[in-house]
Amino acid sequence: MKNYEQLIRYFEQQLEKQSFSGEPGELYEPITYTLIYGGKRIRPVLTLMACELFCGKAELALPQAIAIELFHNFTLIHDDIMDNAPIRRGKETVYRKWNGNIAILSGDTLFALAYQYAQQADKEILQNILSVFNRTAIEVCEGQQFDLNYETNNQVTVGEYINMIRLKTGVLFGASLKIGALIGGASVSDADNLYEFGVNIGLGFQLKDDLLDTFGDENIFGKKTGGDIITNKKTFLYIKALECSDASTRQLLVDLYNNEEAESITKINKVKNIFTRLGIDKIATNEIEKFYSKGMEYLDRVKLAENNKEILRDVASKMVERDK
């Protein structure tokens, strides 16, 4: 059984062998640019890992792992356009380096390429694979629309936020595992339990992102904290703080988020002080632990030897306990 680091290296080596070049260059160059700075590769590695757990051959799920990575990067290219984000993974975003129209077309092409890889499965399981892939693609788009809606909605509840990140982030973690498990020959029950494991770990992963953006150690986190506060992003921390505040604190927090003229450091410090006073960092940590525990419950139901499950437990722990 390959460990997580071995599977990352294997995936990177295989991804480098793929060709994403073509004409016109303006369409394909952003794709190569995006994939070179591909981030943590968590999702495709989960696909390979799930497949190997059931059949011992991670390589059988390589096309689908590539499909998952291409799809994920398609969403990031389009998200950056919608968020007007200048930087992604320490580099200029595609729409900034080229322009919005090219970013849209390159993202669309990534989406189509993802389907080309996803459909490279035995005909006996192809329909199930594409069904999971299609449903996930739709749900990710639903999550993104909810996220956009919440930018102008000051009445977002914690439950609504959790559902949004479940769709925008959690379901792709779940789908990555389920697709790999199905290719590896897992039963429907085992594949479904791995899906729910992935969704819950994905929720914990996103909440950890929310927490680190405000409370992370910048020397470890690798970038300035407080970005969500500066951009007035309604994260779990903000929504929970509104829920826990008295009327005056709630109004102060809303005013700070609505103040586009406030000096960045001052705004970050004032909001962070409110979060700290209300214990929002501890509440968020407890919520992360709750989703981790729920994920473990689903993993316990999967009919695999306990020692084989340890690799997934280790990955889940690293995802929610990380400091960057």
Q: What is the pLDDT of residues 192-221, one digit of tens each?
A: 999 999 999 999 999 999 999 999 887 776
Could you identify the residue written with the tokens 């329909």? 127
Lowest mean pLDDT among 77-91, 139-153, 161-175: 77-91
- What percent of the chain has a predicted confidence (pLDDT) above 90? 84
Q: Widest CA span of the chain, in angstroms?
A: 61
The predicted structure's pLDDT at residue 222: 59
Judged against a pLDDT cut of 70, whether residue 265 lies above it is answered with yes
Give the pLDDT confidence of 36-73 residue by residue, as tens digits. 877 889 999 999 999 999 999 999 999 999 999 999 99
What integer is the mean pLDDT of 124-132?
97
Q: Please provide the average confidence, as pLDDT, over all residues in the chain.
A: 94
CATH 1.10.600.10 domain range(s) in the chain:
1-142, 187-324
Quote the CATH superfamily of domain 187-324: Farnesyl Diphosphate Synthase (1.10.600.10)
Q: How far is 257 from 252, CA to CA, in rounded Å?
A: 9
Here the tokens at position 303 are 């009919």
Superfamily holding 1-142: Farnesyl Diphosphate Synthase (1.10.600.10)
Residue 58 DSSP class: G
Grouping H, G, I as helix, E, B as strand and the rest as coil, residue 91 is strand
Q: Where are the alpha helices (DSSP H) in the chain?
A: 4-16, 25-36, 42-55, 62-83, 94-97, 100-118, 123-150, 158-165, 171-183, 188-215, 218-221, 227-230, 236-244, 247-258, 264-278, 280-301, 306-321
Neighbours of 178 (CB within 10 A): 31
- Retrieve residue 193's tokens: 């339990």
pLDDT at residue 221 in the model: 63
